[in-house]
Structure 1
Amino acid sequence: MNDSYLKFVNSPLGGRVARSFGLPKPEVLRRYRADTPEFDGLIAIGAGRAPQLLDALADVVKSTGLTSVAHESAGLWIALANRHGLMTGRFEPTEPGAHARVAALVFDASGIEDSTQLDALYAFFHDTLRSLGKCGRIVVLGRTPETCDTPRQWTAQRALEGLVRSLGKEARRGITSNLIYVAPHAEHQLEGTLRFFLSARSAYVSGQVVRIDAGSGAVSNAVDWAQPLAGRHAVVTGAARGIGAAIASVLAAQGAQVIGIDIPSAHDALVDTMRPLAGTALSFDIAADDAPAQIAAALDETGVDIFVHNAGITKDKTIAKMSEAAWHNVIDINLSAQERIDDALLAAGTLRDGGRIVCVSSISGIAGNLGQTNYAASKAGVIGRVQSMAPQLRARHITINAVAPGFIETQMTAKIPLTIREAGRRMNSMSQGGLPVDVAQTIAWLAQPASAGVTGQIVRVCGQSLLGA
């Protein structure tokens, strides 16, 4: 679905009209393309007192090929970068009105132990933010508050969330701002997540807080970042079209052997989606009583490394006008079927140890929505099962996470009345809707072996929507 306003204001004529009338001008987001470098440009590094993650950060800068410059707050970075053989220099602020020259801002706040030490964040972002280019990246690294030794340290680390979310709303221009909390002894798990948030793959993910721990399996030292899912079997439900088809395509592009599942009536569309991916099409009604056993049996020979619960439906009515069937069908397909399928796969051992479960929730499950009590309840339930199952799956090194899309340009949102559709597009920090590929890239990051430290997380793909938490 096309966003006509976005296209118009980014044309020469539309740009002049927008400036003349003071109209908002959403940025055309820079998304990942296989024919362009994934990482390019300068990354400005800052740090608070006693930073603890600079070594891990140096590994990422080296592997991405980014050129780093150090803000005066990160004096330790110069010596560290030299030891790692990285090109580096001192940050020089851009003059007002000059062309911005920095692609990313990264601040290591892991050593901040008291609220009075937050001043270092002010100094860094006050000096650097105007130098950040369009579609730039802001990433703050901290320590998981729940692991902090003192109430003052917990307080200071928790303060980072308000800063990061506010930066995302102030920066605009397609810039994303995210926070990564790294638990003690989980530094080796940082690279996959930091690469995602620094790359164009996270174009519509902003204002998010991700926690990384050390208890969900090891990360190989030899990750093939071009094909991180090579040799893995991935299943995507609802894969015939829309977001499901995009998920299947991105997983295949990263090396996975993809198996798509959809209802029998969508079989032809599913085959058309799977054919160019060299994938397998399986027709199942996931809500059928025997579907879990049949799916487990169909996957038994190959086994499964990644299972993406994407299939879902809507039957919108206010609850006073909603039929019992509409309530039951949405809950059953969107939530209960996921529970039954996972039970079958885990009991049979079809989902391998070290596997990944990724569920598609929704911003409606966080904020609620008029006329969607059934849908919102089902998607909030998805969040609940992710959070409750993560500790249980830890012993098998299986991670479970969810993405919560906001307004995504699909056939479903194309049916929304124009005024509501425009509100959905503009009520976020990007002032536009996302694309199915934005959801797919986020799921692919969560599915990677390098995301072993990320589990029980809900990541919103909503352009930092103004709705919900």
Structure 2
Amino acid sequence: MSDRYASFANSGPGRALVKRLGLPQPPLLRRFRPGDPLVTGPVLLGAAPGGRLDEPVRKMLTIAGVGLDGGPPWSALVFDATGIADTAALHPVYEFFHANARTLGPSGRVIVFGTPPEACSSPREATAQRALEGLTRSIAKEFGRGMTAQLVYVAPGADEFADSTVRFLLSGRSAYVSGQVIRIGHVLSSPMTDWAHPLDGKVALVTGAAQGIGAAIARVLARDGARVVALDVPAAGESLARVANEVGGTALQLDLTRPDAPSTLAAQLDSRHGKVDIVVHNAGITRDKTIGRMSAEQWDAVIDVNLSSQERINEALVPLIPEGGRIVAVSSTSGIAGNRGQTNYATSKAGVIGLVQSMAPVLAPQGITINAVAPGFIETRMTARMPVAAREIGRRMNSMSQGGLPVDVAETIAWLAAPGSAGITGNVIRVCGQMWLGA
């Protein structure tokens, strides 16, 4: 469904009226198109004294063909804050962004690098590094014009594993991701040989792939080179077949709540492919009621489809996932902030986050990562059916003043699925345009 308000607000007469009335101004977002450069102009780098990432990041950007010379407008402001060892040393961060706040171009990017507080050598250092979260989240809400800001905590010894994340955050792929905290840990290796087709040779399973976000995930993973197995319930067979044909993949009709679904799925993947490199848990349902009016069947159905089935499928498929494999689960901002009338849904999506965080250390010795994305208001058939007032509130209550698109979720999943993202596990990345509440 089109956003008529955003279209009007970005027209000539609409822009003037919206500004005069002080109404939300949804910016035009820079989204990725094949062949686009990583950034639209030069990048300005800054660093606090003693930082350890300034040189590695310079090298990454140079290899990526990003210009570091020139002048404003800058396409990105990147600051290495890893050298900040106490709160008195936070001043260089202020100086850098104070001086350059007005030099960032439309749809610009801000990235601040820090050290995970749990990896700091003293309580003072940990305090200062944790303070950076307030900085980046506030900048993301202040700068406007489609700008995004992120904090990337890089563990000591993991400096060389930030390349995939830097490229994602600078590019148009991260258009609706803002105000996030990303943790990169140390891994033995992080191969990446083809940035245009990073998933060549990979087999990817996408559940709930017949429409909406699931279909977008299938398209983006296929674009990046994966052989996609698109799965959905038999009732969605016609739509599922269209998606599978479009991406050159295979369609698999299966109800994941069936007792034999995990074993059936594992047998299918083993016989056809002998492995599955990427598992994307996207299948989900809603049965909205306040808890006092909710039936036991409505509660049980949502928990089973959205959460318990993921546990069962993981148990069946992990033996087929090789080293370097990826599991990405779709949670929701409802699982973070809660939502009236969605106690079952919010419980299931919070459980997905718990699944990711609890399984990350279990899967790490096998070289498998597991992460979650948490979409906010995304323009789908489901949100198009919402009451007009609720839909407009959902669209405007974020730093972008608009809903996201299914492709925004898909691009985030593709980044987490890439070989170069091996250092990212146990993370929950919100794709919500930085919601005002619960963000």
Which category describes the TM-score, using the shorter chain as reference length?
A: over 0.9
1:201 counterpart residue number = 173
CA drift at 1:298 = 0.2
Residue identity over aligned pairs, in percent, reads: 56
Distance in 1, matches of 2:194 and 2:219, equals 18
2:127 counterpart residue number = 155
Distance in 2, matches of 1:173 and 1:218, equals 37
Distance in 2, matches of 1:21 and 1:377, equals 39
1:281 counterpart residue number = 251
AA aligned opposite 1:219 = S
AA aligned opposite 2:173 = R
Gaps of 5+ in 1: 69-87, 92-99
Match of 1:261 among 231, 235, 238: 231
1:105 counterpart residue number = 77
Distance in 2, matches of 1:288 and 1:352, equals 26
1:445 aligns with 2:415: yes
Contact 2:24 2:396 in 1 (8 A): no
Distance in 2, matches of 1:44 and 1:57, equals 11
Contact 1:139 1:177 in 2 (8 A): yes
Deviation string 1:138-174 (CA, Å, 9 cap, x unpaired) is: 0000111100001111011111000000000101111
AA aligned opposite 1:230 = D
2:329 counterpart residue number = 359
Match of 1:135 among 99, 107, 113: 107
Distance in 1, matches of 2:24 and 2:383, equals 22
1:218 counterpart residue number = 189
Match of 2:153 among 181, 187, 190: 181
SS of corresponding position for 2:322 = strand
Distance in 2, matches of 1:26 and 1:64, equals 30
1:344 counterpart residue number = 316
1:168 counterpart residue number = 140
**1:280-319 correspondence runs (5 A):** 280-301=250-271, 302=273, 303-319=275-291
SS of corresponding position for 2:392 = helix
2:64 counterpart residue number = 64
Deviation string 1:318-349 (CA, Å, 9 cap, x unpaired) is: 01100110000000000000000000112xx2
1:416 counterpart residue number = 386
Contact 1:40 1:65 in 2 (8 A): no
SS of corresponding position for 2:278 = strand
Match of 2:340 among 360, 370, 373: 370
CA drift at 1:55 = 2.2
1:146 counterpart residue number = 118
1:238 counterpart residue number = 208
1:429 counterpart residue number = 399
Distance in 2, matches of 1:181 and 1:390, equals 17
**1:47-62 correspondence runs (5 A):** 47-62=47-62
SS of corresponding position for 1:106 = strand
Contact 1:403 1:439 in 2 (8 A): yes
SS of corresponding position for 1:120 = helix
SS of corresponding position for 1:66 = coil
CA drift at 1:424 = 0.6
CA drift at 1:467 = 1.8
SS of corresponding position for 2:34 = coil
AA aligned opposite 2:336 = I
Deviation string 1:3-53 (CA, Å, 9 cap, x unpaired) is: 100000101121122233232211011100114323330101111011100
Contact 1:236 1:309 in 2 (8 A): yes
Distance in 2, matches of 1:29 and 1:327, equals 38
2:30 counterpart residue number = 30
Distance in 1, matches of 2:228 and 2:370, equals 19
CA drift at 1:197 = 0.6
Contact 1:39 1:65 in 2 (8 A): no
Contact 1:56 1:191 in 2 (8 A): no
1:116 counterpart residue number = 88
1:72 counterpart residue number = none
Distance in 2, matches of 1:395 and 1:258, equals 26
Distance in 2, matches of 1:36 and 1:392, equals 38
The runs of at least 4 aligned residues of structure 1 exceeding 2 Å deviation read 19-24, 35-40
1:382 counterpart residue number = 352
Deviation string 1:416-439 (CA, Å, 9 cap, x unpaired) is: 111111111111111110000000
1:46 counterpart residue number = 46
2:11 counterpart residue number = 11
Match of 1:191 among 163, 169, 190: 163
SS of corresponding position for 1:180 = strand
Query: Comparing 244-253 with 350-359, which one deviates more in the overlay?
Result: 350-359
Contact 1:48 1:110 in 2 (8 A): yes
Contact 1:49 1:111 in 2 (8 A): yes
Contact 1:105 1:139 in 2 (8 A): yes
Distance in 2, matches of 1:314 and 1:64, equals 42
Distance in 2, matches of 1:154 and 1:21, equals 44
SS of corresponding position for 2:77 = strand
Deviation string 1:425-467 (CA, Å, 9 cap, x unpaired) is: 1111111100000000000000000000000000000000012
SS of corresponding position for 2:82 = coil
Distance in 2, matches of 1:354 and 1:67, equals 32
1:321 counterpart residue number = 293
SS of corresponding position for 1:460 = strand
Distance in 2, matches of 1:397 and 1:25, equals 44
Contact 1:40 1:66 in 2 (8 A): no
SS of corresponding position for 2:407 = helix
Distance in 1, matches of 2:164 and 2:286, equals 34
1:75 counterpart residue number = none
SS of corresponding position for 2:415 = helix
Contact 1:240 1:262 in 2 (8 A): yes
